[in-house]
Amino acid sequence: GQQLNQSPQSMFIQEGEDVSMNCTSSSIFNTWLWYKQDPGEGPVLLIALYKAGELTSNGRLTAQFGITRKDSFLNISASIPSDVGIYFCAGPQGGSEKLVFGKGMKLTVNP
């Protein structure tokens, strides 16, 4: 089964607001990935993190690799309507190539 716990499960925000979400694990991960999925489409890779403590930005998105290597955070600043979708955290499980995913965070942005 899945090992990643994402919170919150959903958020409703106004356009222009910032949003934060996090992902925790009971085991250590060496890589954290954040994906966004639109309805009926596959996940799109947003940010990849490889080092504990690493902070990486991609436009209005900023993600951090937790210092314990058991968590990661994603922030979206100044949200816009096209940010709507489901955000997933993921990481390779136990030295394997397979990714395990969180259950996702559904973001709704009200214009």
Partner 1 sequence: DTGVSQDPRHKITKRGQNVTFRCDPISEHNRLYWYRQTLGQGPEFLTYFQNEAQLEKSRLLSDRFSAERPKGSFSTLEIQRTEQGDSAMYLCASSLVSGTGGEQYFGPGTRLTVT
Nearer to partner 1, 5 or 77 (CB): 5
Nearer to partner 1, 4 or 19 (CB): 4
DSSP state of 29: -
Strand 10-14 with 105-110, pairing: parallel
The correct pick among 14, 42, 59, 82 for binding partner 1 (CB under 8 A) is 42
> Rounded CA gap, 30 and 84, in Å?
28
- On whether the CB atoms of residues 93 and 99 are closer than 8 A, the answer is yes
Nearer to partner 1, 10 or 110 (CB): 10
Strand 61-65 with 55-58, pairing: antiparallel
Q: Is 25 exposed, middle or buried (0-12, 13-18, 19+ CB in 10 A)?
A: buried
Nearer to partner 1, 15 or 108 (CB): 108
Site residue total, partner 1 (CB under 8 A): 27
- Residue range at the interface with partner 1 (CB under 8 A); choices 13-21, 63-71, 74-82, 96-104: 96-104
Rule CB under 8 A: which residues touch partner 1?
2, 4, 30-31, 33, 35, 40-45, 48, 50, 88, 90-92, 96-104
